[in-house]
């Protein structure tokens, strides 16, 4: 991390317009070598988002406001959020208490991992063509729900389904409860505190989705400060990153209805997973980033 006062937050009186502050923020973010990956992937987009959000301006309309002058109070607010992003390495989503996934907004804070999931890309299409009759999905499970984002997206994608949203963290479930209420889905999504399937005895599902912890130990040790700000429980999963996935594979079959689907995200662990389970007929689902991050198995293909 770059030093303290040398980052340059003291002399900002000459910054008048939104354009001035945007340039300043981009310079400070690049100078400080921030890590991006919680909603944006570069200094300009992150600076624009933080400034527009702080000023209560539309997030998709930067140009009309670039030459508008900020009041003294607004300038102080913008300066504070830029300074916190640089000095504390806090992900932007924790500063604004919002994250966007599949075009939907969710409340987040430090109690949950910042929502990001390849599964979110697949749900608006109802997991087509693998789910042949979406209206027949009446019960679904989101394991490791965190903020509840995937459970909510699943409820929106399958309007006839009731969803169980499970997490080991009570704090995470409190955040999920807020998001479920924001979407008015309290009658369809049940929040359950459980270590994976332990509290789900006797429950069966047509669809199980999960974005479990999957970062291997070596990668956890090398995570940038922005990721270290997230709950450790939601990131690491043993030496090879597959501890949680192994438990899911061992137990999912008994909780799926005949013909039911298991869909799990595993990050960059495809080769390790296939080597560990050479006989399982994984189907790798195509996402914008490729076909190595999310696998699907049918109930009859899972170990009993």
Model-level pTM? 0.92
* pLDDT at residue 48 tops 70: yes
Please check whether residue 32 is in contact with residue 2, taking contact to mean a CB–CB distance below 8 angstroms.
Answer: yes
With 0-12 CB in 10 A as exposed, 13-18 as middle and 19+ as buried, what is 116?
Answer: middle
Please check whether residue 120 is in contact with residue 149, taking contact to mean a CB–CB distance below 8 angstroms.
Answer: yes
- pLDDT tens sequence across 229-280: 988 888 888 888 899 999 999 999 999 999 999 999 998 899 999 999 999 9
Please check whether residue 256 is in contact with residue 81, taking contact to mean a CB–CB distance below 8 angstroms.
Answer: no
Count of CB atoms situated within 10 Å of the CB of 128: 10
| One-character DSSP codes across 13-62 | TT--BHHHHHHHHHHHHHHTT----SS-SSHHHHHHHHHHHHTT--TT--
β-strand pairing of 283-284 with 294-298: antiparallel
Superfamily for the 99-301 domain: Vaccinia Virus protein VP39 (3.40.50.150)
β-strand pairing of 205-210 with 139-143: parallel
Every domain range in the chain assigned CATH 3.40.50.150: 99-301
pLDDT of residue 5: 43
* pLDDT at residue 205 tops 80: yes
pLDDT of residue 6: 58
As a whole number, the mean pLDDT across the chain is: 93
Of the two residues 292 and 142, the one the predictor is more confident about is 142
Mean pLDDT for 290-303 is 93
Residue bearing tokens 């949680």:
244
């Amino acid at each position: 991390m770059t030093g303290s006062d040398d980052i340059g937050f003291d002399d900002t009186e000459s910054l008048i317009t939104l354009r001035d502050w945007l340039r300043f923020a981009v310079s400070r973010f690049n100078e400080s070598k921030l890590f991006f990956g919680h909603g944006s992937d570069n200094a300009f987009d992150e600076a624009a988002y933080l400034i527009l959000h702080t000023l209560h301006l539309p997030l998709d309309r930067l140009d009309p406001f670039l030459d508008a002058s900020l009041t003294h109070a607004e300038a102080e607010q913008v300066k504070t959020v830029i300074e916190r992003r640089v000095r504390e390495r806090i992900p932007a989503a924790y500063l604004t208490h919002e994250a966007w996934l599949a075009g939907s907004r969710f409340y987040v804070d430090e109690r949950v991992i910042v929502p990001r999931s390849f599964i979110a890309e697949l749900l608006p299409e109802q997991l087509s063509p693998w789910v042949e009759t979406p209206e027949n999905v009446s019960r679904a499970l989101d394991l490791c729900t965190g903020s509840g984002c995937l459970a909510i997206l699943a409820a929106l994608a399958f309007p006839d389904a009731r969803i169980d949203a499970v997490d080991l963290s009570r704090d995470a479930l409190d955040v999920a409860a807020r998001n479920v209420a924001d979407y008015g889905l309290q009658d369809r999504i049940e929040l359950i505190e459980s270590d994976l399937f332990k509290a789900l005895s006797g429950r069966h599902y047509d669809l199980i989705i999960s974005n479990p912890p999957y970062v291997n130990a070596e990668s956890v040790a090398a995570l940038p400060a922005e990721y270290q700000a997230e709950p450790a429980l939601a990131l690491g999963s043993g030496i090879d990153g597959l501890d949680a996935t192994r438990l899911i594979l061992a137990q999912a079959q008994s909780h799926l209805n005949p013909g039911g689907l298991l869909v799990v995200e595993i990050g960059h662990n495809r080769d390790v997973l296939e080597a560990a389970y050479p006989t399982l007929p994984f189907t790798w689902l195509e996402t914008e980033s490729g076909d190595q991050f999310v696998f699907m198995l049918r109930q009859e293909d899972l170990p009993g």
